């Protein structure tokens, strides 16, 4: 079975500072990896995904994540955060199509 560990439950950061949200996974087979974002009182939205190919994947709003197979990690980074990035972020893994296993989530709080 697969599992996902998000190492920080909350990450406070000042506006325009860089941020890294950490994600490690466990699986005995090859995986697909995802980051989803949840804004208050909304459903989750896909932020970015790694299926194959380049290990560095980017989103349209400046986030990026790098798949590191040797460290079984898929950390999410942004070089400069905005107030509007305040949300909860979920890392997820799949080995079989759309059956995703989610981590516990990391709340990103961006302060002015």
Partner 1 sequence: NAGVTQTPKFQVLKTGQSMTLQCAQDMNHEYMSWYRQDPGMGLRLIHYSVGAGITDQGEVPNGYNVSRSTTEDFPLRLLSAAPSQTSVYFCASSHLTNTGELFFGEGSRLTVL
What's the min distance (Å) between Cβ of 38 and partner 1? Answer: 8
CA distances, 80 to each of 9, 42, 55, 77 (Å)? 20, 24, 21, 9
- Tell whether residue 3 is a contact of partner 1 (CB under 8 A): no
Residue 45: how many other CB atoms lie within 10 Å: 10
Task: Retrieve residue 91's tokens.
Answer: 């890392």
- Cβ 78 to partner 1 shortest distance, Å: 21
d(CA 10, CA 45): 19
Residue 61 touching partner 1 (CB under 8 A):
no
Q: Does 103 bind partner 1 (CB under 8 A)?
A: yes
Minimal distance, residue 26 CB to partner 1, in Å:
14
Of 64, 63, 75, 78, the closest CA to residue 16 belongs to: 78
> How does DSSP classify residue 72?
T
Site for partner 1 in 12-51 (CB under 8 A): 32, 34, 36, 41-46, 49, 51
Which residues of the shown chain bind partner 1 in the complex (CB under 8 A)? 4, 6, 9, 32, 34, 36, 41-46, 49, 51, 90, 92, 94, 97-105
């Amino acid at each position: 079975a697969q599992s996902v560990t998000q190492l920080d439950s909350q990450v406070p950061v000042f506006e325009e500072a860089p941020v890294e949200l950490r994600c490690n996974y466990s699986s005995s087979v090859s995986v697909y990896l995802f980051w989803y974002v949840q804004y208050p009182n909304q459903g989750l939205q896909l932020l970015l995904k790694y299926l194959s190919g380049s290990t560095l994947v980017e989103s349209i709003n400046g986030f990026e994540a790098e798949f590191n197979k040797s460290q079984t990690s898929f950390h999410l980074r942004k070089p400069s955060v905005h107030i509007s990035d305040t949300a909860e972020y979920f890392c997820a893994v799949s080995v079989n199509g759309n059956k995703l296993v989610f981590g516990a989530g990391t709340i990103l709080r961006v302060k002015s």
